[in-house]
Amino acid sequence: MRSFALAAVFSVLISGSAFADPQIVLPQGVLAGATDGGISVFKNIPFAAPPVGDLRWRAPQPAPNWNGIRDASKFGPICMQAPRPKGMAYEKIPESEDCLSLNVWSPDTAPGTKLPVMVWIYGGAFRGGGSANSIYDGMELAQHGVIVVTLNYRLGWFGFLDLPTLAAEHPDEPHGNYGLLDQIAALKWVRANIASFGGDPSNVTIFGESAGGMSVNDLMVSPLARGLFTKAISESGLGLIHTPTSAEAQAAAAVFTARTNAGNDPAELRALSAASIVQTEKDNVENGTTPMVDGAVLPDQVSRLFAEGKIAKVTYMAGSNSDESTLMKYIGMTKDSLLKPLGDKLAAVRALYDADGKIDDDEFVRQFFSDALFASGAEGFAHYVAKTGEKSYVYHFRYLADALRGRDPGVGHGGEVVYVFGLHGFSQTPRGAMLASFVTDKDKQMIGLVQNYWTNFAKTGDPNGVNLPQWPTSSDAAPQTLVFDDQTKAVSGFRARQLGVIYMGWAARSGDPIP
């Protein structure tokens, strides 16, 4: 490895390279990046072999090397996925099966620098998304003195297909949860290489939103991810939900093989065009392609492993937004399908939300959805982390940008992301460009507040700092939640009555201990 690095440096010196921007020498080869806002940026770095041909539906294999200087100034393609809704920030980004790459933003690449590292995992229901989405631009966070890494992972049937015939080909490899294995491979790459970018491989925070927040929770319980991170942030990561069993995942896979007419033969499956698999994903509404209990990556139900304390011993942050119900239409959930499981308890549950008798149906559904799927999981998982003796922090994001007041009832699913990453990337999207002129100083102050909390947490495991409202840890004796609003402050017993009834219903169904 050392001789390769020396040879690479020598080749750069004698090549008369036209690259004037920052360069990094890795065991894989030499990277030429770019600069933005005083930050060195390196994009489209392979962290695993392209999962194509015989490597489709296999655990990620070692990353390739390259000769000469690799242009790392532009994003690579995102992973194959279901058709993206029009108007989405990443609607027109190219996609490919050859997508296992990551991007790095570093404020200081000097040798020996040991900066905290934040590794972002995007959301998209495990069916969509990508690190080239400009809203995940890491420049602003990096300006707070951290290194930011964003990564791609396989999605849909490419990332989550549990077939016994595929597993039998390589019985020594984990199978089915290929998308999670990609995330683990990226974290291993970070551990091995981030020091070359000025990062500290012993101070790594994973953070993600929605499916990315769920991935953070999955990595918390995965034995294969132990030691790859020291802190974790799960934004709107659900939590108290069912993880598909292997039997359920294989039943869904049987629907896939039937629709493709490829049967269970691995050769025929790998001969399918990527486009035909995406078309099957487009038609796949009733069968989710998500992480499943496989015995290796995920040994059991994620919620049960949290409840039993079988989790990484790391500091943990989790939270939710005030109107997560904006997700309902995207997952095909209706008011009736949400409330039907309550049965004859519906009136009693509604009474907990309607103390003054003035709440209408839409507002009740909005609040109940947000509590049942998101706030309860954040509070519950933080509680379980605290029980292991590790520090945990809980937030609830209620601050609504001035331009959205009077229009939106609350902060929608994913609404906190712009406050985490800031306006630099967001303003490059059609919606962001339209809203940029409406951003107020108060909105910018909230961005600064959130970024300080997140980066402080990444640096030390404690989000608190000078001139920040105090954020207490979540504890058994007096759980507190930091509520981001016009006046950001910690609240004791946040939504305790509403969340309490959700916990009891969940425990009765799952058999897991009540948080």
pLDDT tens-digit series, residues 476-507: 667 899 999 999 999 998 988 888 888 777 76
Quick check: is 413 catalytic?
A: yes
What's the token pair of residue 52?
Answer: 């194509």
Q: Are residues 210 and 340 in the same domain?
A: no
**Arithmetic mean of pLDDT, 439-450:** 95
Question: Where on the phi/psi map is residue 444: left (φ > 0), alpha (ψ -120 to 50), or beta?
Answer: alpha
What's the token pair of residue 500?
Answer: 């309490």
The three-state DSSP-derived secondary structure of 418-479 is HHHHCHHHHCCCHHHHHHHHHCCHHHHHHHHHHHHHHHHHHHHCCCCCCCCCCCCCCCCCCC
Please give the DSSP secondary-structure letter assigned to residue 371: I
Q: Are residues 256 and 400 in the same domain?
A: no
Q: Which of 247, 281, 301 is the last residue of a domain?
A: 301
424-428 long-range contacts, CB within 8 A, separation 24+: 424/37, 424/137, 424/139, 424/140, 425/134, 425/135, 425/136, 425/137, 425/139, 426/134, 426/135, 428/134, 428/137
pLDDT at 1 over 60: no
Dist. CA 379–CA 351, nearest whole Å: 22
**Arithmetic mean of pLDDT, 444-448:** 96
**Arithmetic mean of pLDDT, 33-56:** 97
pLDDT band at residue 210 using 50, 70 and 90 as cut-offs? very high
pLDDT band at residue 280 using 50, 70 and 90 as cut-offs? confident
Quick check: is 324 catalytic?
A: yes
Tell me whether residue 181 is in a domain: yes
**Arithmetic mean of pLDDT, 204-222:** 98
CATH number at residue 119: 3.40.50.1820
Q: What is the pLDDT of residues 2-25, one digit of tens each?
A: 444 444 444 444 333 444 579 999
Tell me whether residue 86 is in a domain: yes
Q: How many domains does the chain have?
A: 2
The domain in which residue 183 lies consists of 1-301
Q: Are residues 458 and 421 in the same domain?
A: yes
User: In angstroms, what CA-CA distances link 271 with 127, 231, 263, 266?
Assistant: 21, 41, 12, 8
Please count the residues of the chain: 515
Tell me whether residue 306 is in a domain: no
Give pLDDT, residue 5.
44
Quick check: is 144 catalytic?
A: no
Q: Are residues 324 and 260 in the same domain?
A: no
Q: Are residues 162 and 222 in the same domain?
A: yes
User: In angstroms, what CA-CA distances link 503 with 303, 381, 395?
Assistant: 12, 11, 18
Most distant CA pair in the chain: distance in Å?
78
pLDDT at 74 over 60: yes
Dist. CA 32–CA 41, nearest whole Å: 9
Q: Are residues 190 and 88 in the same domain?
A: yes
Side-chain half-sphere exposure of 109, counting CA atoms within 13 A:
24
Convert 328-352 to b/e letters by CB count within 10 Å (16 or more is b).
beeeeeebeebbeebeeeeeebbeb
Tell me whether residue 360 is in a domain: yes
- Which residues, listed in sequence order, are joined to residue 315 by a DSSP beta bridge? 231
What's the token pair of residue 437?
Answer: 């002129």
Tell me whether residue 307 is in a domain: no
- Could you give phi then psi for residue 83, rounded to 5 degrees? -50, 135
Dist. CA 147–CA 124, nearest whole Å: 24
Q: What is the pLDDT of residues 312-325, one digit of tens each?
A: 999 999 999 999 99
Q: Which of 235, 324, 379, 416 is catalytic?
A: 324
Which is it for strands 101-106 and 39-46: parallel, antiparallel or unpaired?
Answer: antiparallel
Angle between helices 376-387 and 496-510 (to 10 degrees): 80
34 versus 511: which is more confidently predicted? 34
Q: Are residues 432 and 385 in the same domain?
A: yes
Q: Is the dihedral of CA 289, 293, 294, 296 positive or negative?
A: positive
User: In angstroms, what CA-CA distances link 429 with 3, 93, 423?
Assistant: 44, 12, 10
Tell me whether residue 459 is in a domain: yes
User: Which range among 44-58, 88-102, 407-421 shows the weakest confidence by mean pLDDT?
Assistant: 88-102
Q: Which of 40, 106, 131, 210 is catalytic?
A: 210
Instruction: For residue 170, give the 3-state DSSP assignment.
Output: coil
Q: Which of 144, 175, 396, 413 is catalytic?
A: 413
Instruction: For residue 161, give the 3-state DSSP assignment.
Output: coil
Give pLDDT, residue 500.
83
- Using CB atoms within 10 A of its CB, is residue 470 exposed (0-12), middle (13-18) or buried (19+)? exposed
User: In angstroms, what CA-CA distances link 132 with 100, 111, 362, 437, 484?
Assistant: 12, 28, 35, 24, 28
Q: Are residues 259 and 335 in the same domain?
A: no
Tell me whether residue 121 is in a domain: yes
Tell me whether residue 423 is in a domain: yes
Nearest to 25 by CA among 193, 199, 185, 200: 193
pLDDT at 42 over 90: yes
Nearest to 487 by CA among 410, 407, 414, 398: 398
**Arithmetic mean of pLDDT, 385-396:** 96
Q: Are residues 272 and 351 in the same domain?
A: no
User: In angstroms, what CA-CA distances link 440 with 163, 402, 404, 408, 437?
Assistant: 52, 7, 11, 17, 8
Nearest 10 degrees: CA dihedral of 211, 226, 106, 431?
0
- Which distant-in-sequence residues (6+ apart) come within 8 Å of 171 by Cβ? none
Average pLDDT, the chain: 90
pLDDT at 82 over 90: no
User: Which range among 11-25, 188-202, 378-392 shows the weakest confidence by mean pLDDT?
Assistant: 11-25
Convert 80-113 to b/e letters by CB count within 10 Å (16 or more is b).
bbbebeeebbbeebebebebbbbbbbbbbbeeee
Q: Which of 234, 267, 301 is the last residue of a domain?
A: 301
- Could you give phi then psi for residue 422, rounded to 5 degrees? 90, -175
pLDDT at 90 over 70: no
Q: Are residues 102 and 240 in the same domain?
A: yes
Q: Are residues 296 and 272 in the same domain?
A: yes
User: Which range among 27-31, 305-309, 404-408, 489-493 shows the weakest confidence by mean pLDDT?
Assistant: 404-408
Q: What is the pLDDT of residues 48-71, one digit of tens each?
A: 999 999 999 999 999 999 999 999
Q: Is the dihedral of CA 250, 513, 220, 370 positive or negative?
A: positive
User: In angstroms, what CA-CA distances link 107 with 45, 75, 142, 146, 179?
Assistant: 18, 19, 6, 7, 29
Strand segments, DSSP code E, in 59-146 are: 69-71, 78-79, 95-96, 101-106, 115-121
**CB atoms inside a 10 Å sphere around CB 453:** 26
**Arithmetic mean of pLDDT, 338-344:** 87
Q: Which of 279, 301, 323 is the last residue of a domain?
A: 301
Q: Are residues 131 and 18 in the same domain?
A: yes
Dist. CA 57–CA 269, nearest whole Å: 10
